[in-house]
Structure 1
């Protein structure tokens, strides 16, 4: 039996790491008052970071931009590391789309000059936050579960709006630096998405026309998706074990496609 000091040290380090991971799980996924306060604080910080990402095309030329950029990179790196440690299966967690988006955003923050033209994609953090169970678990407990799909659709639309605005500003309006150029990019994006088409701001060249076509198609699709989520009857997501149908009425006892008996939980997790 090996009782060498090296073995004892290794076991002690493993025990400390296990305690740290368990503590992080309780903070990120727990239901205690302390955990809920921690989760609320993280969400507030996330929203402030997203506000910076939305404004970053305008702030990029400011002297303080790099300080804010690297400070947010440190916060995001700490958050990603903590979430990874809190996960019970780190490789699986790393393969999730939200984790991939967060890692990409971290790369743009750590290399703001090399990846400057991709900085507008940081707004995707809003999309990854909206898909997080970390955000929805406390809301579902408070009875907001039925609004989940509506909020997802609305945030998809808002995320698309600001990602496209950042793209348009970066590649077409950059010479009009500052707030005026960003507002022009936002105005152009909204008029194109809604097919209002005032025609007072246009993108020049073949690539400008193709960009306009893509924005119109995607924008109308997202508007229709949001309208469907608001006005169609509320459904819960519960895959039928027999036919795989995903959406059912909250009080359904049989699958409407195949008739298989269902046991839908009271809360939609």
Structure 2
């Protein structure tokens, strides 16, 4: 092995170690880095939500679009590089969702009709270990996590459904002349309010309306269940591995092992 190839390999190992420390470490630098990534992610998601309106900006929209594509590609490449086995990394559905979102950013002219699916980035972000590892143990709470995920699932569905209605039925329905109209129709449909001032045409339109209503009711029920569910804490049992327990549990419900769950004061 030549000296140059050995040096390149050594630099590659150092880069991988550095990326792992940033993405998976617990140091203040790593946490600050991940918080910065999350802030950028949330800004990107805001751009995705406002995309149908911002697209009227012409060339500026596409410039921002490709800048976001570069950021997302760099982030995915860094995550893949610091992962032990890239094949295992590619088996994750969330990764494929992010890759699809990247494709819509790289080819906006061809995949614009599917651009509304970019909002799924919000769902993949909130359901990632990266998000919950970054915000810290203050929110390492099953109720907070479950409620957050349920609310994000509802919000994500609202904007995905809005984007689909906007893309598929714009100009075909009386009263549906813009993105806000599509959002209004989606919200009134999933809440089963149904004022009737906007009706999607044909059999396909009725099917879409039914799906929005049924899915919306299901997601609302899920939010209610997570709000009313008894409070649990995440504390893995070192014997059987049960992940969640009652806050005042002394023994594991699954195996009877003695637990020592810290209270709010850290004792």
**TM over 0.5, yes or no?**
yes
Match of 1:254 in 2: 252
**Is the contact between residue 55 and residue 61 of structure 2 (CA under 8 Å) also seen in structure 1?**
yes
What aligned pairs does 1:174-253 form with structure 2 within 5 A after superposition? 181-236=178-233, 248-250=245-247, 251=249, 253=251
Q: TM-score w.r.t. structure 2 length?
A: 0.87
Q: Does 1:148 align with 2:133?
A: no
Deviation digits for residues 83-140 of structure 1 (CA, Å, limit 9, x no counterpart): 1112122211111121111100000101111111110000000001001222111334
> How far did residue 252 of structure 1 move?
6.0
Deviates most, 209-218 or 30-39 = 30-39
* 1:123 corresponding residue in structure 2: 119
The TM-score, its normalising length taken from structure 1, stands at 0.87
Taking a change above 3 Å as real, the CA distance of residues 74 and 100 of structure 1, as seen in their structure-2 partners, is: same
SS at the partner of 2:109?
Answer: coil
- Greater than 4 Å deviation, 4+ residue runs: 236-248, 262-267
Query: How big is the shift at 1:246?
Result: 7.1
The total of aligned residue pairs comes to 257
TM-fit CA distance, 1:262: 4.6
CA 1:108–1:232 in structure 2 vs 1: closer, same or farther (change >3 Å)?
same
- Within 5 Å, which residues of 2 pair with 1:1-269? 4-5=1-2, 8-63=3-58, 64-146=60-142, 147-173=144-170, 181-236=178-233, 248-250=245-247, 251=249, 253-255=251-253, 259-262=254-257, 266=261
How far apart in 2 are the matches of 1:227 and 1:25? Answer: 38
Matches of 1:265 and 1:186, distance apart in 2: 48
Change (3 A) 1:145 1:239: closer
SS in 2 for 1:233: coil
Deviation at 1:11, TM superposition (A): 2.4
CA contact (8 A) 1:191 1:198 kept: yes
| Structure 1 pair 170–263 and aligned structure 2 pair: CA distance change class (3 A) | farther
SS at match of 2:209: helix
